[in-house]
Amino acid sequence: NNELADTKTLSKSEDVLNVTTKVTNPSELSGAIPSNDELREQFPVKQVSGTLEAPGAVKTNQQGPISSQITSSQTQAKLLTDTDAVSAQAIKPEAQESTSDVVSVKVYNSQLVGRAKLSPKLVDKDPVGEVSSPILLGKRSIIRVYFSTRLDNAYGEKYFHVWYLNGRERARVPLSVTSQSWRGNSSKYINRAILGEWQVKLESEAGDIFAESAFEVFP
């Protein structure tokens, strides 16, 4: 059985509909081919919103195809999730960077203590530069910190520079005042074996504190 096929084409508004009719008997070919009117009845093509729509076509609305709406909803949900993540990240406390502050000296009796200062060096017995805390040793194996005081109207009296590490006394340097305006300095070498919280105080023989300062040393 030879099967013959004849194809008629219906065109309208740039949409093409191909219809194939199979005929098993060649003698019936002329009566088997439907007319154009019959094709239009069997395969109606209607126009919706300026576009041709065949049966079974994906429906659309003013907001676009349903598949596009689903994709749009998924995109909006993702954007909302990303926004929430950014907001949560924005309110999360950021890690604070390590900063150093210039170390000051507290003076409790300005009539006795004319000056009190921490410094990294001395020039002509005067303190030069500032000490910042914390002090980082880095590649250095040892550092030196100076404590300088000027005492007024304390002739003949005895005072001490007392150095403390983590609350424990490490050194006591006596100061014998020999003039009415007297300058005294002491220093401490600090290496990796004695890191931590340091304090230095100006004290009397009775243990009264007239000035003090504190700083930290880290590796």
- Supply angle C-alpha 101, 107, 111, rounded to 5: 150
DSSP state of 73: H
8 Å CB contact between 169 and 180: no
Which amino acid type is present at position 185?
N
For residues 163 and 143, give the distance between their C-alpha atoms in angstroms, rounded to a whole number. 15
State pTM to two decimals: 0.56
Q: Give tens-digit pLDDT for 97-142.
A: 457 799 999 999 999 999 999 999 999 989 999 999 999 999 999 9
Beta-strand pair 209-218/135-136: parallel
Confidence of residue 193 (pLDDT cuts 50, 70, 90): very high
Q: Give tens-digit pLDDT for 27-75.
A: 444 455 666 666 666 666 555 444 444 445 444 444 555 455 545 555 5
